Chain A
Amino acid sequence: MPESKLVDNLDLDNYKYGFVDSESHVYRTKPGLDESIVRDISRQKEEPDWMLQFRLKAFKIYESKPMPTWGGDLSDLEATLDEIYFYVKPQEQTERSWEDVPDKIKNTFERLGIPEAEQKSLAGVGAQYESEMVYHSLKEEWASKGVIFDSIEDGLKNHPELFKEHFGTVIPIADNKFSALNAAVWSGGSFVYIPKGVHLDTPLQAYFRVNQEKMGQFERTLIIVEEGAHATYVEGCTAPVYSTDSFHSGVIEIVVKKDARFRYTTIQNWSNNMYNLVTQRAVVQENATMEWLDGNLGSKLTMKYPSCYLMGKGAHGSIMSIAYAGPGQHQDTGGKVVHAAENTTSSIISKSISKEDGRSTYRGLCKVHEGAKGSRSNVECDALLINDTSRTDTYPYIEVDEKQANVGHEATVSKVGDEQLFYLKNRGLSEEEAMGLVVRGFLEPIAKELPLEYAVELNRLIEMEMEGSVG
């Protein structure tokens, strides 16, 4: 069948970020994890005692919780966790100026296009290499308005009260095994504070890179958006391809206060040997809006369900996600919305593509608590299957405890139709152009929401792989 030959070339997984730098670090813990490592990380960071106690408590909870048996296959993870480095310090401090970043690391990020992006269109940039933020900067214009964009460590040092007030409140330690692990060994990530009424018109961006083989990255991000403030945050992730598995487990906590608006965009393009188990949650207060835009293209297994806890009247939560599961990949993603106040609204739109033996799973929860009158939620999931070995699953949990609420869920599964291709070929398009057009059209509703450079990148990836497919 010409079509099957054609779809072989729809290849998002030709990984161009797989290059490796030689190892460079000033300190790292021994492989595996025990209490002494947790203490060591805290000592390295010269933390106050409460944070050490927080970590130790979290470590106990982590050890007591069983490995999840739902979601993706985690049977090999236990062994992986015994081998990885939980903390690798690449340099002594977080630099404010790009010139001060060691050449080797700087080169890596330059190859990934980071400083260039900063100059063009960003309000601030943070870059994490292994376990630490190596670079963090914010444009003077925003700093002068009271915006804080720091590494999480500097957030703890420089704004201890603000930090302590919110840290660990959105995602409690015991939320799940991996949030407990992160709470014990967290390192790196951003601390963001947008003061009341400030409208950031360009995004803040954080970039995460794992270079070391057998590395565990545990960034922790805390974002506080004050009343009436607007901001957008973008994170991107890549890693080299190694024969052994690596591990990334972040915790992102966001507080969106009254009338504020915040969008968190992730383009996750980890290499295909990465376990990516992330907990992301936002508490959304009265009339505020939280939007998650979640692109999962890389990793071996991703388990990630960005959530919105709609706590104030009229709060709105939106989750848009694209998942691409290529050969050997399992994207177990989705979203959670919890309606806990009157007239709250939410929408989840999920699109996935599974190719070859790739598997994409939508797993979501929509919960309406009693008393959340007038709440509305709509969930739509569309899955596109490219090959007969591809797999897709949909597990939407709907729990409604309130009469005056409307909740709907719809999902469809389809393949690229012969008729669609035939029609487009009739109109003079080549087969690969037609295929690309159909796939892009499928992703369009979400792709158009991406920051321009990412949308372009996504389209380019698909288009590039369509080329040269005619033999």
Chain B
Amino acid sequence: MADNSTYHSWLNEKRSHAWSVYQSTPTPTTKSEEWRYTDLAKLFPLEQITLEMGLVDSTQRPNREDLIEATNTAGRIQLTDGLVTNIQVDPAVDSQGVGLDSIQNTTHEKYQEIIRTNLCSHVLPPESGKFQALNAALWKDGVVIYVPKNVHVKMPIRGKHTLSTGNSAVCARTLIIAEEGSHVSYVEEFHSDDFSNKSMVSSSVEVVAHRNASVDFVSVQNLGRGIFFQVAQKSLVHRDACVNTLNVNLGSSLSRLDLNTRLLEPGANSKMLGLYFGDKDQHFDHNTSQDHLAPHTRSDLLYKGALDGNSRAAFRGIIRVHSGAQQSDAYQTNRTLLLSEQARADSLPNLEIEADDVKCSHGSTVGQLDPETIFYLLSRGFSRQQAERLIVLGFLGDVMTKLPHGAFRRVVKNVTDAVEQKLRHG
């Protein structure tokens, strides 16, 4: 198809440009404020994996079929080593014009058009940082979700990323465009075995919610050890639109998330939720920002985590209320429980406020299990282990209750099970 080859050469041009940005961008060190708590040179020297720019000529269409017995899912998309292999869509949803496709191999002109307008450009350009550039250069495939005007996709779309080999860098992209008045939710999960070789999984997520649209985005990461999980997520929220995100980090050896929500017009709203549980020598680094660029915007961030073993977590969040963004409400909370002597937490919740008529607050705590609560549970006949388990689950569960009920029941269960498993081995 002639049309497709121009599309593919356009994608490859974008990749080449991103590669040159990557090469000219220095690797972040702890000298930079944003990488203060994560020493990449020590934790994951980039030299130890092969990073080579190769132009992608894959034109293999993924298997595509109708989703049958779709009681709680609108669609499924499966990625192996960053390549979309299977897509299933509920025919009812498909008939409404909702797009769920591979970015690399879509043949749909409408989606190609959407991708050309939005991918790696105004949302998350390669110039955003070293890893944003790396992903934009090395991605082979990704997920595009397109929701037409006023279409409500009731059940979540599910994405599943798996990894077959180590010693590589797998880069995937996600692009979600919700047109005016539409609604969609997307749940992605990352799973893999443990790898003795170091590998990297990179995910770049671009979300645009147009006027009055709403997007829920949930990401659950339970990758094996040996992996550096690197995420850049950016959401653009237009007038009266809403983007809610939940990022759950349980797996990998090192994870680094850069999350930015930009509230562009009045009425824009975002809830940013996060949950992490570290054990052994895991290292989690969250770098979040909430940009209020218009009046009457609202954002609310809650990140909670528990750390066991030698694990370490850093949280660096910033609320920026830009000049003129009056009557904005912005909140930010980070709470970390330390479960072991060797665990370590660093928290840096920042505020930069340039408008006077705002409601802003942030809070951060680092602490241990409350001895009185444990004592209370012990006196009610629980064993110490049971008591601690209950407190940790209750502490973290607080984040999960902020998800809309019903649609995410399975996510909540999966995450709870994974946390319990970690607690048992802790």
Chain A residues in contact with chain B, CB under 8 A? Answer: 70, 368, 370, 383, 385-415
Residue of A nearest to B350 (CB): A395
Complex alpha-carbon distance, A448 and B346, angstroms: 33
Cβ-closest chain A residue relative to B370:
A406
Q: How far does the alpha carbon of A370 sit from the alpha carbon of B312 in the complex, in Å?
A: 13
B residues apposed to A, CB below 8 Å? 33, 323-324, 326, 336, 338-368
Rounded to whole angstroms, the CA-CA distance of A235 and B64 in the bound complex is 76
Q: For residue A414, which residues in chain B have a CB less than 8 angstroms away from its CB?
A: 359
In the complex, are the beta carbons of B368 and A405 less than 8 A apart?
A: yes
Q: In the complex, how many angstroms separate the beta carbon of A388 from the nearest chain B beta carbon?
A: 5
* Contact across chains for B349 and A407 when beta carbons are under 8 A apart: no
B84 to chain A, nearest CB (A): 41
A401 to B345, CA, bound (A): 7
Q: How far is the CA of A70 from the CA of B34 in the complex (A)?
A: 13
Q: Given A406-B365, A407-B367 in contact, is the A413-B351 Cβ separation under 8 Å?
A: yes
Chain B residues whose CB sits within 8 angstroms of the CB of A400 once the complex forms: 336, 338, 344-347, 366
Given contacts A398-B366, A405-B366, A413-B361, whether A388 and B356 have CB atoms under 8 Å apart is yes
A394 x B350 contact (CB < 8 A): yes
Write the nearest CB–CB distance from B87 to chain A, whole angstroms. Answer: 44
What separation, in Å, do the CA atoms of A31 and B363 have in the docked complex?
A: 47
Least distance between B111 CB and chain A CB atoms (Å): 42
Give every chain A residue within 8 A of B354 (Cβ-Cβ). Answer: 389-391
Q: A398-B366, A400-B345 are in contact. Are A413 and B358 (CB under 8 A)?
A: yes
Q: List 26 A-B contacts (CB under 8 A).
A: A385-B358, A387-B356, A388-B323, A389-B323, A390-B354, A392-B352, A392-B353, A393-B350, A395-B350, A396-B349, A396-B350, A397-B346, A399-B344, A399-B346, A403-B339, A403-B343, A404-B368, A405-B366, A407-B366, A408-B363, A408-B365, A411-B360, A411-B362, A413-B351, A413-B359, A415-B357
Residues of B within 8 A of A397 (CB): 346, 348
Contact A410 B356, beta carbon cutoff 8 Å: no
For the residues of B in contact with A, the DSSP-based class is strand
Distance between B343 CB and nearest chain A CB, rounded to angstroms:
6
The answer to whether B360 and A409 touch across the interface, beta carbons within 8 angstroms, is no
Cα distance, A412 to B363, chains bound together (Å): 9
A336 to chain B, nearest CB (A): 14
Q: Bound complex: CA of A405 vs CA of B341, how far in Å?
A: 10
Instruction: Kindly list chain B residues whose C-beta atoms are within 8 Å of the C-beta of A391.
Output: 352-354
B351 touching A392, Cβ below 8 Å: yes
Q: Which residues of A contact B352 (CB under 8 A)?
A: 391-393
Q: In the complex the two chains form, is A413's CB within 8 Å of B365's CB? A: no
Structural contact, B345 and A393, CB atoms closer than 8 A: no
A residues less than 8 Å from B344 (CB atoms)? 370, 399-401
Q: Is there an interface contact between A412 and B360, defined as CB atoms closer than 8 Å?
A: yes
A402 to B346, CA, bound (A): 11
Closest Cβ neighbor of B364 among chain A residues: A409
User: A408 CA to B363 CA in the complex, in Å?
Assistant: 7
Assuming the contacts A70-B33, A388-B326, asked whether A396 and B353 have C-beta atoms less than 8 A apart, the reply is no
CB-CB < 8 A to A413: which residues of B? Answer: 351, 353, 358-361
Residue of B nearest to A354 (CB): B356
**Residue picked from B351, B356, B361, most chain A C-beta under 10 Å:** B356
Report the minimal beta-carbon distance from A233 to chain B, rounded to whole angstroms: 32
Task: Apart from A390-B356, A391-B353, A405-B338, list 16 A-B contacts with CB within 8 A.
Answer: A370-B344, A385-B355, A386-B356, A388-B324, A388-B326, A392-B351, A392-B352, A395-B350, A398-B345, A399-B344, A400-B345, A403-B368, A408-B365, A409-B363, A411-B360, A415-B358
* In the bound complex, CA of A402 to CA of B338 (Å): 8
Contact B347 A398 (CB under 8 A): yes
Task: Please give me the residue from chain A that is nearest to B338 by CB atom.
Answer: A403
Pick the contact of B361: A398, A404, A410 (CB < 8 A).
A410
Closest CB of chain A to B298's CB: distance in Å? 15
| Across-interface contacts of A392 in B (CB, < 8 A) | 351-353
Shortest beta-carbon distance from B352 to chain A in Å: 5
Give Cα A3–Cα B361 distance, bound, in whole angstroms. Answer: 24
Q: What B residues does A398 contact at CB under 8 A?
A: 345-348, 364, 366
Please give, as numbers and ranges, the residues of chain B lying within 8 Å of A410 by CB-CB distance: 361-363
Using CB atoms, name the residue of chain B closest to A381: B351
A400-B346, A403-B341 as given contacts; A411 in contact with B366, CB under 8 Å:
no
Q: Quick one: closest B residue to A413, CB to CB?
A: B360
A408 to B362, CA, bound (A): 11
CB distance from B391 to the nearest CB of A (A): 14
Contacts of A389 in B (CB 8 A): 323, 354
**A390 partner residues in chain B, CB cutoff 8 A:** 354, 356
Closest Cβ of chain B to A262, distance in Å, is 28
Chain B residue nearest to A377 (CB atoms) is: B366
B344, B350, B353, B360 pick with most chain A CB within 10 angstroms: B353
Residues of A within 8 A of B356 (CB): 385-388, 390, 415
Q: Smallest Cβ distance from A251 to chain B, in angstroms?
A: 25
Expressed in whole angstroms, the Cα–Cα distance for A392 and B361 within the complex equals 12
B33 — which chain A residues lie within 8 A by C-beta?
A: 70
Contact between chains at A403 and B340 (CB < 8 Å): yes
Residues of A within 8 A of B339 (CB): 403
Bound-state Cα–Cα, A383 to B361, Å = 10
Bound CA span A236–B346, Å:
36
Cα of A400 to Cα of B338 in the assembled complex, Å: 9
**C-alpha spacing A410/B323, complex, angstroms:** 23
Measured between C-beta atoms, what is the minimum distance from B104 to chain A in Å?
41
Contact status A411-B361, CB under 8 Å: yes
Chain A residue nearest to B312 (CB atoms) is A401
Q: Are B345 and A394 in contact (CB under 8 A)?
A: no
User: Shortest Cβ distance from B279 into chain A, in angstroms?
Assistant: 14
Distance to closest chain B CB from A287 (angstroms)? 23
Residue of chain A at shortest CB distance from B360 = A413
Is B364 within 8 A of A408, CB to CB?
Answer: yes
Complex CA–CA separation, A401 to B343 (angstroms): 7
Q: In the complex, what residues of A have CB within 8 A of residue B361's CB?
A: 410-413
Would A406 and B367 count as touching, CB distance under 8 A? Answer: yes
Select from chain A the residue with minimum beta-carbon distance to B33.
Answer: A70
Q: Please, which residues of chain A bring their CB within 8 A of the CB of B348? A: 395-398
Which residue of chain B has the shortest Cβ distance to A411 in the bound complex? B362
Question: When chains A and B are docked, how far (Å) is the Cα of A235 from the Cα of B248?
Answer: 51
A370 to B342, CA, bound (A): 8
- Are A393 and B351 in contact, with the CB atoms below 8 A? yes
Q: Are A409 and B365 closer than 8 Å at their CB atoms?
A: yes
Min CB distance, B220 to chain A, in Å? 26
Report the Cα distance A383→B362, complex, angstroms. 12
A405 to B336, CA, bound (A): 12
- Residues on A with beta carbons closer than 8 Å to the beta carbon of B350: 393-396
Alpha-carbon separation in the docked complex, A412 to B368 (Å): 25
Shortest distance from the beta carbon of A361 to any chain B beta carbon, whole Å: 9
Q: How far is the CA of A397 from the CA of B338 in the complex (A)?
A: 17
A324 to B22, CA, bound (A): 44
Give chain B residues whose Cβ lies under 8 Å from the Cβ of A404: 368
Q: Say how far B290's CB is from chain A's closest CB, in angstroms.
A: 13
For residue B351, which residues in chain A have a CB less than 8 angstroms away from its CB? 383, 392-394, 411, 413
Residues of A within 8 A of B355 (CB): 385, 388
Residues of chain B within 8 A (CB-CB) of A387 are 356
Considering the chains assembled together, what is the distance between the CA atoms of A396 and B364 in angstroms?
A: 9
Q: CA–CA, A409 to B368, complex, Å?
A: 15
Among A368, A370, A406, A411, which residue has the most Cβ atoms of chain B within 10 A?
A411
Question: Given the complex of chains A and B, what is the CA–CA distance between A385 and B362 in angstroms?
Answer: 16
> How far is it, in angstroms, between the C-alpha of A390 and the C-alpha of B366 when the chains are bound?
31
